[in-house]
Amino acid sequence: MSLGEYEKHWKSVVSQSVCDYFFEAQEKAADVENVPPVISTPHHYLISIYRDKLFFVSVIQTEVPPLFVIEFLHRVADTFQDYFGECSEAAIKDNVVIVYELLEEMLDNGFPLATESNILKELIKPPTILRSVVNSITGSSNVGDTLPTGQLSNIPWRRAGVKYTNNEAYFDVVEEIDAIIDKSGSTVFAEIQGVIDACIKLSGMPDLSLSFMNPRLLDDVSFHPCIRFKRWESERVLSFIPPDGNFRLISYRVSSQNLVAIPVYVKHSISFKENSSCGRFDITIGPKQNMGKTIEAITVTVHMPKVVLNMNLTPTQGSYTFDPVTKVLTWDVGKITPQKLPSLKGLVNLQSGAPKPEENPSLNIQFKIQQLAISGLKVNRLDMYGEKYKPFKGVKYVTKAGKFQVRT
Amino acid sequence: MTDSKYFTTTKKGEIFELKAELNSDKKEKKKEAVKKVIASMTVGKDVSALFPDVVNCMQTDNLELKKLVYLYLMNYAKSQPDMAIMAVNTFVKDCEDPNPLIRALAVRTMGCIRVDKITEYLCEPLRKCLKDEDPYVRKTAAVCVAKLHDINAQLVEDQGFLDTLKDLISDSNPMVVANAVAALSEIAESHPSSNLLDLNPQSINKLLTALNECTEWGQIFILDCLANYTPKDDREAQSICERVTPRLSHANSAVVLSAVKVLMKFMEMLSKDLDYYGTLLKKLAPPLVTLLSAEPELQYVALRNINLIVQKRPEVLKHEMKVFFVKYNDPIYVKLEKLDIMIRLASQANIAQVLAELKEYATEVDVDFVRKAVRAIGRCAIKVEQSAERCVSTLLDLIQTKVNYVVQEAIVVIKDIFRKYPNKYESVIATLCENLDSLDEPEARAAMIWIVGEYAERIDNADELLESFLEGFHDESTQVQLQLLTAIVKLFLKKPTETQELVQQVLSLATQDSDNPDLRDRGYIYWRLLSTDPVAAKEVVLAEKPLISEETDLIEPTLLDELICYIGTLASVYHKPPSAFVEGGRGVVHKSLPPRTASSESTESPETAPAGAPPGEQLDTVPTQGDLLGDLLNLDLGPPVSGPPLATSAVQMGAVDLLGGGLDSLMGDEPEGIGAPSFVAPPAAAVPANLGAPMGSGLSDLFDLTSGVGTLSGSYVAPKAVWLPAMKAKGLEISGTFTRQAGSISMDLQLTNKALQVMTDFAIQFNRNSFGLAPAAPLQVHAPLSPTQTVEISLPLSTAGSVMKTEPLNSLQVAVKNNIDVFYFSTLYPLHILFVEDGKMDRQVFLATWKDIPNENEAQFQIRDCPLNAEAVSSRLQSSSIFTVARRNVEGQDMLYQSLKLTNGIWVLAELRIQPGNPSFTLSLKCRAPEVSQHVYQAYETILKN
């Protein structure tokens, strides 16, 4: 496996030259995001992911499920993120020995070993400024010398002996709306991708039950391994002993069209005149099905056609930028006040003599609504068993735009 | 303080400095030094010189330091095997450490040191660790067995580790079970025949129990292992399915897909009437759809698998069309896959939505994607009859955009629509004709010409249109030339009076002025047909065309069934069975779906339901993908079966001069014509004397027989190899090889009787294969074969057998019968036995063909360690019927341009680059059937290296 220019071998050593095939594919794909994730070379297969502007490439010699490899690579990136606060070339370079130690703990002979952050942190302590200072004074090490307790128990995701003075359990219900809206404003496709992320800081071995007001909404779910599937099947209650710290409890999908509300609408008119070097651009955003909440942090991104040289626009609120190289127009709108709907209009300058663009640009909308799960999902209650103390509990809801695209 | 400081040490004296630090008394300094060494190692610097110093740091109670030293050891032990021995004692000691973490670490690291001498010392500690009281150590040791097996398989078997590993499947700890399964699966991969994972209901039960409790990765190993099991009946299949379905809700997509594989496979055994079957179908859809909201890389793999699943069981996702709608910021590889699945799911119910989407895509920016979208519209029209009209009007709208590549793509698909629905949409022809001038791609030009020829009677100025193409005839690609020739002949047959001159012109262009044998052949066929028997010409050329199949790129059912067993693997991403791409074909077992059991379905006998698919479903489409034969006459000459009743409206035939004699018979009165046919033979220069030979005798002998000098000497013959060992065939051993001499192929066999009884009544049969190889005579063993006797037989082969594409292309399955039993074996034949002796292409034709074959069809290979020079190469290849058409010297390199032809008419063009003094040659192959390139390359290797 190689990280940019870092490599680690688990079985026999594979020559670095195999990466040339990858670089070749990378060159061929105009955009880094279009590099195919599975590439075959005469003797190996290269499976890669692209994350945080880094490629993680693994070299495969025998038949291995590609999803297995891709999932693992994402897990490696997650771990770096978790350990170093960011997954970047600089972070990896600064911590190269830890990276090497981590990789060694995560994989053995092609078999994943410890990939749970809870366990890894017991084996290898994450770097902190304080710790490295202490270490260099006392000569102690940042490698644990006892067997991680979770490794072999029935709950491998939780370490033993967790202690907190403030016991807290917080849940974030985050829903993203993926949608394609056609020219006329009707919904071609819409679904909600939801997750419940948890931040659990509870002492001992708490056993939690989370129930919902309307569990029927959740018919397509993916669970963290800690959830007892049988309980869910029979009672529609999430029952689990949580890992310590931050983790994703469930992810779910709501697709039935009538349940997916579309909180904004966009009025648009983008036109290019035949045989003229200019066009008109006019978009307005307004609220729709927003359940009475404020829609904020709106941004509109548009990939304009190649022949567009520049744009001369006036926003009624917020600010816009147009990058003449990438042809990307970004309008940072802010929030919608229904009394005065935000709009952006003006002229588009085209390359003179070029034919009028065929394709109409799609509008990519981002927004956020606090205190609302657009699907209507509501947590009913959280109960804790197995420990005596009373924890602080909290649930937060937020709805965002996912891949939200308006065709023009 | 970050680790980046380790990279900043100056080059000069770096090693020396490190050495000093490593030998320091201070623990902390030592550790820092080892860290620096590791950092240098990861970026590829050579720090092997420090080996003894680093190993000295190994004896420490500091776990971090120990780990770092272990990391170093794993990396460099191979280059310093003698030094590595020094470390053995510490390893053995560590394997006895009271701390299980250290025991496990030691055994894990030892397994990674790939030095033979070390492996001997590893056995004892490993044996202990496999029985360790701590499950953490046991599970680590299980993996170590797989590592050791990779280094020295024999040792592992001799030491009985495999049995210990099998015992671990019954371990009380689920993680140990999972690792044992993983290790056994890996070992079994290199031992396909061994019964390592001998699964029975008891062990399955243990696996299912462990499945619920082990880590996500362990679940994948267990599920993949379960997928290889064949339940004894549908009840067992159902109970396994019930216990696997909860995995569909797992957050790890690899777990989900492995579970899908198990379910898809075992569903095969369930009766469709069962309630449970329906429940299962419903449960499969949501997890598959969920995979599509994951990261794009995961989506890609998921989509490739979904593509297989919807071909096998379209009902699973038939209501989920919308999730495959393309988002404009999807990576291109995701877009293309989604499009493919959209077409597969298109039906009358959702076609309106699909079309609206496709039309949207056709205005996007990415050219490849737009083209595919336009094609998709055409495919929808062909698939869903009710939508055809709407599709055609959508295509017309797109043509109006005048975007060049959109127009061309649209015309290509409209041609297919015309073929599927003849005489329905001709009203659009006028619009198509308006765009004639903008077509610059051969495929689009050919499609347009086909349309004009096919509907010549309705296009008033068809002759003018076709004539306009004729002007630049020689600049057109072969595809267009062939199409033009046929179209004009069609036109002539439909409107004989006005187009005589035109047809004469094209025939003479094709036969006299062209160097392309395909074109000449076709020209002669038409010419002769028209002059001798115009009735037949009409029957042949204007025959009703076979309908094109609804879906053009369906995977062949048997391959599909095999691929379903490989869901989630690389095979599923490439849509090829592992045998087609796994290195050396090592350990490839063909998998097949379990047969449906009869217990609940007594009405359906196993024969009528192979692999469980309802017989009806398999028949209604003909996959055209595997059509290797390269359809010489392109699409316009359907098989001359039952032509339409002859039109009797042929008028004024008498006026036709050139072809007059023959054409008279169109009237049907005198089949012989009037006396001697007045056929004007083409100039003798172009046609050798044997023009009068019956057509069936092969038009190829019209050309250039003499050029194949020295071909009679015969091509390279590989030494005989054992094909069927005696132990597999009750004492009959068969070895053999293939030869080609003077144009005839034979299989040289050596039969040895290693049994104690006499063998008689030999017979041989081949399975259908890619090139139609078949015995040309029965297998003749004259006298009975007595024990220990050997007989040599040369079996002549023909290529007239029935054709079925095999995988790999050159595999041949053979059945040999004698008085004892029937035995089967399969072998690979070298492709060069199929190189025909008249495979020398004319230089001009070569040049044109090379340009004409699209670049995607070009494959490049390296031939290494070949000491020959260009002349020797050329003459050696020539004796195996690979002909050097031209030779050039470019910047000191010899470029050989070569051609060869296979028995089924496929031409392969080659460019061989030879640098004097460099034993590596570069071989570029171009062929219209690129599947053969790999095998042709192998033939080059074989011929040049022997």
- Report the helix count and the strand count for chain B, using DSSP H and E: 36, 13
Confidence of residue B300 (pLDDT cuts 50, 70, 90): very high
Q: Where are the alpha helices (DSSP H) in B611-716?
A: 615-619, 660-664
CB atoms within 10 A of CB B364: 17
Task: Give helix B174-190 / helix B201-213 axis angle, nearest 10°.
Answer: 120
CA distance A34 to chain B (A): 5
Q: Do residue A68 and residue B220 have CB atoms under 8 angstroms apart?
A: yes
Of the residues B48, B65, B185, B297, the best mutation for testing chain A's interface (the one with the most A CB atoms within 10 Å of its CB) is B297
pLDDT score of B879 more than 80: yes
% residues pLDDT > 90 (chain B): 11
Which residue in chain B has the smallest CA separation from A155?
B213
Q: Does B290 touch chain A (CB under 8 A)?
A: yes
pLDDT score of B128 more than 60: yes
SS3 at position B738: strand
Q: Considering only residues 225 to 244 of chain B, which have any Cβ-Cβ distance to chain A shorter than 8 Å?
A: none
Q: pTM score > 0.80 for this model?
A: no
pLDDT of B941 reads 85
Q: What is the pLDDT of residues B489-534, one digit of tens each?
A: 988 888 888 888 888 888 888 888 888 888 888 999 888 888 888 8
| CA-angle at B151, arms to B147 and B153, nearest 5° | 90
Q: Do residue B328 and residue A154 have CB atoms under 8 angstroms apart?
A: no
Which residue in chain A has the smallest CA separation from B36?
A97
Give the count of alpha carbons within 13 A of B508, CB side only: 12
Whether B47 contacts B80, CB under 8 Å: no
CA distance A316 to chain B (A): 28
% residues pLDDT > 70 (chain B): 84
Q: Does B331 touch chain A (CB under 8 A)?
A: yes
Q: Scanning the structure block, which residue is given the tokens 């693997």?
A: B569
Q: Does A194 touch chain B (CB under 8 A)?
A: no
Q: Considering only residues 200 to 239 of chain A, which have any Cβ-Cβ distance to chain B shorter than 8 Å?
A: 219-225, 229, 233
Question: Which residues of chain A lie closer than 8 angstroms to B249, CB-CB?
Answer: 221-223, 229
pLDDT of A147 reads 54
Tokens of B541: 């050329």
Q: Does A7 touch chain B (CB under 8 A)?
A: yes
What's the rounded Cα separation, in Å, for the pair A240 and B768? 58
Rg (CA), chain A: 25
Q: What is the pLDDT of residues A315-370, one digit of tens each?
A: 999 999 999 888 899 999 998 887 888 999 998 888 877 777 777 788 999 999 99
Q: Does B246 touch chain A (CB under 8 A)?
A: yes
Task: Please give the backbone phi and psi of residue B789, each rounded to the nearest 5 degrees, phi first.
Answer: -80, 150
| Span of A201-210, A233-242, B56-65, B163-172 with lowest mean pLDDT | B56-65
pLDDT of B590 reads 65
Q: What is the pLDDT of residues A125-172, one digit of tens each?
A: 887 654 444 454 444 455 555 555 545 556 777 877 788 999 999 999
Structure letter (DSSP) for residue B708 = -
Contact residues for B351 (Cβ-Cβ < 8 A; gap 6+): B380, B384, B386, B387, B390
Which residue in chain A has the smallest CA separation from B285?
A220
pLDDT of A21 reads 86
pLDDT score of B670 more than 50: no
CA distances from A42 to B83, B699, B930 (A): 35, 40, 16
Instruction: Give the residue-averaged pLDDT of B617-637.
Output: 35
Q: Do residue B75 and residue A9 have CB atoms under 8 angstroms apart?
A: yes
| ipTM score for this prediction | 0.81
pLDDT of A168 reads 93
Whether B659 contacts B534, CB under 8 Å: yes
Q: Do residue A136 and residue B28 have CB atoms under 8 angstroms apart?
A: yes
Q: What is the pLDDT of residues B576-595, one digit of tens each?
A: 887 776 554 444 556 777 77
Higher pLDDT, B632 or B158: B158
| CA-angle at B94, arms to B88 and B98, nearest 5° | 165
Q: Do residue A109 and residue B256 have CB atoms under 8 angstroms apart?
A: no
SS3 at position B489: helix
Q: Does A111 touch chain B (CB under 8 A)?
A: yes
Q: Do residue A74 and residue B42 have CB atoms under 8 angstroms apart?
A: no
Q: What is the pLDDT of residues B894-921, one digit of tens each?
A: 888 899 988 888 888 898 888 877 888 8
Residue B426's Cβ-count burial label (10 Å; 0-12, 13-18, 19+) is: middle
Which range among B279-293, B652-666, B867-881 has the greatest average pLDDT?
B279-293
Higher pLDDT, A83 or B9: A83
What's the rounded Cα separation, in Å, for the pair B666 and B195? 71
pLDDT score of B665 more than 50: no
Q: What is the pLDDT of residues B832-845, one digit of tens each?
A: 888 888 888 888 78
CA distance B261 to chain A (A): 12
CA distances from A405 to A354, B229, B364 (A): 27, 46, 14
Q: Which of B150, B295, B570 sits opposite A11 (nearest CB)?
A: B150
% residues pLDDT > 70 (chain A): 88
Do you know the residue count of chain B? Answer: 946
Whether B166 contacts B155, CB under 8 Å: no
Q: Which of A65, A66, A95 sits opposite B2 (nearest CB)?
A: A95
As a whole number of Å, the end-to-end CA separation of chain A is: 43
- Report the helix count and the strand count for chain A, using DSSP H and E: 7, 23
Q: Which of A63, A100, A358 sits opposite B569 (nearest CB)?
A: A63
Of the residues B8, B37, B42, the best mutation for testing chain A's interface (the one with the most A CB atoms within 10 Å of its CB) is B42
Nearest to B371 by CA among B344, B337, B406, B347: B406
What's the rounded Cα separation, in Å, for the pair A375 and A218? 10
What is the sign of the dihedral through the CA atoms of B706, B708, B713 and B717? negative
Q: What is the pLDDT of residues B916-945, one digit of tens each?
A: 778 888 888 888 888 888 888 888 888 888
Q: Considering only residues 133 to 192 of chain A, which have any Cβ-Cβ distance to chain B shorter than 8 Å?
A: 133, 136, 139, 141-147, 151-152, 154, 156, 178, 180, 182, 188-189, 191
Q: Does A65 touch chain B (CB under 8 A)?
A: yes
Structure letter (DSSP) for residue B364 = S
CA distance A94 to chain B (A): 4
Q: Does A362 touch chain B (CB under 8 A)?
A: yes
pLDDT of B336 reads 92
HEC states along B788-813?
A: CCEEEEEEEEECCCCECCCCCCCEEE
Q: Do residue A359 and residue B147 have CB atoms under 8 angstroms apart?
A: no
Task: Give helix B100-112 / helix B116-130 axis angle, nearest 10°.
Answer: 150
Which residue in chain A has the smallest CA separation from B406?
A358
Q: Do residue B301 and residue A37 have CB atoms under 8 angstroms apart?
A: yes
Question: Which residues of chain B lie closer than 8 angstroms to A223, CB-CB?
Answer: 249-251
Q: Do residue B403 and residue A223 have CB atoms under 8 angstroms apart?
A: no
Q: What is the pLDDT of residues A386-403, one digit of tens each?
A: 888 999 999 999 999 998
Q: What is the pLDDT of residues B306-350, one digit of tens each?
A: 999 999 998 899 888 889 999 888 899 999 999 999 988 988 888
Higher pLDDT, A196 or A119: A196
Question: Which residues of chain B lie closer than 8 angstroms to A7, CB-CB?
Answer: 42, 44
CA distance A116 to chain B (A): 10
pLDDT of B284 reads 92
Instruction: Give the residue-averaged pLDDT of B626-631.
Output: 33
pLDDT of A6 reads 62
Rg (CA), chain B: 34
pLDDT of A152 reads 53
Q: Considering only residues 9 to 48 of chain A, which have any Cβ-Cβ distance to chain B shorter than 8 Å?
A: 9-13, 16, 29, 31, 33-34, 36-38, 40, 43, 45, 48
Q: Do residue A66 and residue B301 have CB atoms under 8 angstroms apart?
A: yes
Q: Scanning the structure block, which residue is given the tokens 């002993």?
A: A241
Q: Do residue A141 and residue B63 have CB atoms under 8 angstroms apart?
A: yes
Higher pLDDT, B798 or B303: B303
Give chain A's largest Cα–Cα span: 78
What is the sign of the dihedral through the CA atoms of B327, B332, B334 and B339? positive
Q: What is the pLDDT of residues B419-451, one digit of tens each?
A: 888 878 878 888 888 888 888 888 899 999 998
pLDDT score of B608 more than 60: no
Which residue in chain A has the smallest CA separation from B32?
A136
Whether B342 contacts B318, CB under 8 Å: no
Which residue in chain A has the smallest CA separation from B255?
A68
pLDDT score of B12 more than 90: no
pLDDT of B702 reads 36
Instruction: Give the residue-averaged pLDDT of A280-297.
Output: 86
What's the rounded Cα separation, in Å, for the pair B479 and B476? 8
